[in-house]
Structures are given as C-alpha cells and as structure tokens.
Amino acid sequence: MFDNLLIVVSLTILAASLMAVYRVFSGPTIGDRVLAVDSIGTTAILILVLLSFIFDQMIFVDIALTFVMLNFVIIFVVARYLEVGRIFPW
C-alpha cells in the first residue's frame, strides 16, 4: 500500500517537472532557464529518495545527498556570472 503511494507520488512529480522542461526551452532570459534547471534538479533529488524506499536500496540516498550539493554549486556559479560578468576571479 505504501509502496503504491510512493510510486504514484513519484510519477506525479515526474509529470509536473515537464512544466519546468517547457520553461527551460522557452525562457526569455538566462535566469529563467537556470531556475528551471534548478527545479529539475530538486525533482531528481526527490525521485532518488523515493526510489530508495521503493527498491529498499540505501545507496540512492547518498547519491541524492551528492545531488543537493551539486545544485548549490551550479546556482552560485551562474549567479556570480550574472552579477560580476565572469566566473573566475582572475
């Protein structure tokens, strides 16, 4: 019963992330695309956590923890490019 709930929830989130894919393709500015990519990354984190409960595989949670930190780095690099104009300080 609980596994069926998790499968339905993960399919719903996967269908909802198609809206973010639409925003990636048709965003007017660069910030919209980056924001949509960040939302897709959050969706990937949630689906990995749910899959680790569906399949009883503990290793997926570690991969989700790595994905969280990678999202952080991506957003900060792009925001620095928007604000300063270059990524590296030299």
Partner 1 sequence: MVGTILKIISAALILIGTFFFCTGLLGLIRLPDIYTRIHSTGKCNTVGVASMVFGLVIYQGIDLMSLKLIFILVFILIINPTSAHVLARGAHKYGIDTYDGTDFDKYKHKYEEN
Name the residues that contact partner 1, by CB under 8 A: 2, 5-6, 9, 12-13, 16-17, 19-20, 22-23, 29, 31-32, 34-36, 38-39, 42-43, 45-46, 49-50, 52-53, 58, 61-62, 64-65, 68-69, 71-72, 75-76, 78-83
Q: Do 20 and 36 form a contact (C-beta atoms < 8 A)?
A: yes
CA dist 10 and 51 (Å) reads: 8
**Residue 72 or 89 having the CB closest to partner 1:** 72
How far apart are CB 21 and partner 1 at their closest, in Å? 10
How far apart are CB 54 and partner 1 at their closest, in Å? 11
The DSSP 8-state label assigned to residue 58 in this structure reads: T
Distances (CA, A) of 40 to 46, 83, 86: 10, 23, 25
